[in-house]
Amino acid sequence: MARVAELLRTGLSSTLLSDAWHWWLDELRGLVPPTVAQKLSVQPSWLVLDLSDNSLTFGEIVGGRYQRNDAIDLLEATLPARPAAITASLRKSSMSPDRLAVTLAPRQVLRRTLDLPLTAPRHLRALVQHELERCQPLPTDQIHFDCRIVSRDPARHRMRVELAIAKRSTIDQVSGMLAGWGLTPRKIGLRDSGTWSFDFLKGETRPRSLRPTATASLAVLCLALSLGVVKVTFDRHEAYANTLYAAVLEAKAAAEHVEATRRQADALADRLTFLATERAAGQSGPWLEALSALLPDGTWVVDVERHGASLRLRGYSRNASALVGLLDASPRFANARFTAPLTPAAVAGVERFDLTVELRPGGAG
């Protein structure tokens, strides 16, 4: 432990040791009670660049509060030399070059809300990654994403997750511009006031420098080491339980899909049997032909049920409200009425209808 402290005091900048140190601090932070962690934490200052459609502004986040400083001329932002205003901000004692963050414009980010199985936060990114191809149109190797849990429903074992997606080309363009200025962003994403909602560099491998408060955190490290073994064991059991639960949910969903498909097949078979029986008995011809001739263009009947002299018709129409009048005016049909309200279909201008009509005496044959 004394050797580690000595290495930290001498300012060792090894990328491997730095990344391992920050990962370990992040793990230990989850073991400390929130009230204690808040007292021990030191909120660092950030230099923030805000991108919008027509401007590039920059400011600072100090103590969790954002303060806008100035705007950078767009022509100056395209030059390879670092803008003088940013250089002046970095010279301040409270600023550090590795504390640079970029806020993207809202139009550059696609946001979605997903309904997913309940899982531990540490497994959230892996779970969302399996859904990326189904909830957005771009190939997964052309995007950066981040996500956060919005709400949980333990009774349903479900949770609502907000997903944010940015094109990889956008992130690369911003990183390239800053690289020309000799800067590397630590965060690129969206923020609400001084809090970062999404960070598209999360999970990316990038060098990080040791924080000045690293030596002060060694006391917390020593205190938490005794809890580390217990936490690792618990995490393994929890991960195994989550894996089994996800497998059960997937199997249940597959079984429900098979059952729904079977019911649809049975219903279709019943309708085909009904029509075949009607034709064989010579009963469907007149009223079915009359119905086909009566219905206007732009009307599609997808289901017909007959119970004695009563017919139930379900389908879609561009003029569904006129169907009752057309059927009542026919010499073969009477007492037409909607059994359910008209509802809009997925196609614009088309409504779904569900109506019942009676065959007039002599019109059933």
Confidence of residue 337 (pLDDT cuts 50, 70, 90): very high
pLDDT at 10 exceeding the cut of 80: no
Helix/strand/coil for 337? strand
pLDDT at 3 exceeding the cut of 60: no
Confidence of residue 179 (pLDDT cuts 50, 70, 90): confident
Average pLDDT for 238-263: 84
Single-letter amino acid code for the residue at 156: R
pLDDT of residue 299: 92
pLDDT of residue 7: 43
Average pLDDT for 43-67: 73
Of residues 268 and 248, the one with the higher pLDDT is 248
pLDDT of residue 51: 77
Range of lowest pLDDT (52-66, 146-160, 237-251, 255-269):
52-66
The tokens for 157 are 């074992």
Confidence of residue 243 (pLDDT cuts 50, 70, 90): confident
In terms of C-beta density within 10 A (0-12 exposed, 13-18 middle, 19 or more buried), how is residue 173 classed?
Answer: exposed
Distance CA 215, CA 222 (A): 12
Q: Are 60 and 43 in contact (CB under 8 A)?
A: no
For 155, phi then psi, to 5°, come to -65, -40
Confidence of residue 312 (pLDDT cuts 50, 70, 90): very high
Q: Are 358 and 333 in contact (CB under 8 A)?
A: yes
Helix/strand/coil for 192? strand
Of residues 358 and 55, the one with the higher pLDDT is 358
| Cβ neighbours for 176, distance < 8 A, ≥ 6 positions apart | none
Structural element, H or E, at residue 190: strand 187-192
Confidence of residue 35 (pLDDT cuts 50, 70, 90): low
Helix/strand/coil for 293? helix
Length of the chain (residues): 365
The tokens for 320 are 């569904």
Spatial CA neighbour of 311 closest among 347, 270, 360, 349: 360
Average pLDDT for 98-108: 83
The percent of residues in the chain predicted with pLDDT above 70, rounded, is 68
pLDDT of residue 23: 65
| Cβ neighbours for 59, distance < 8 A, ≥ 6 positions apart | 48, 50, 66, 67, 68, 69
| Cβ neighbours for 340, distance < 8 A, ≥ 6 positions apart | 354
Rounded to two decimals, the pTM is 0.45
CA angle 137, 141, 143 (to 5 degrees): 60
pLDDT at 93 exceeding the cut of 60: no
Confidence of residue 12 (pLDDT cuts 50, 70, 90): very low
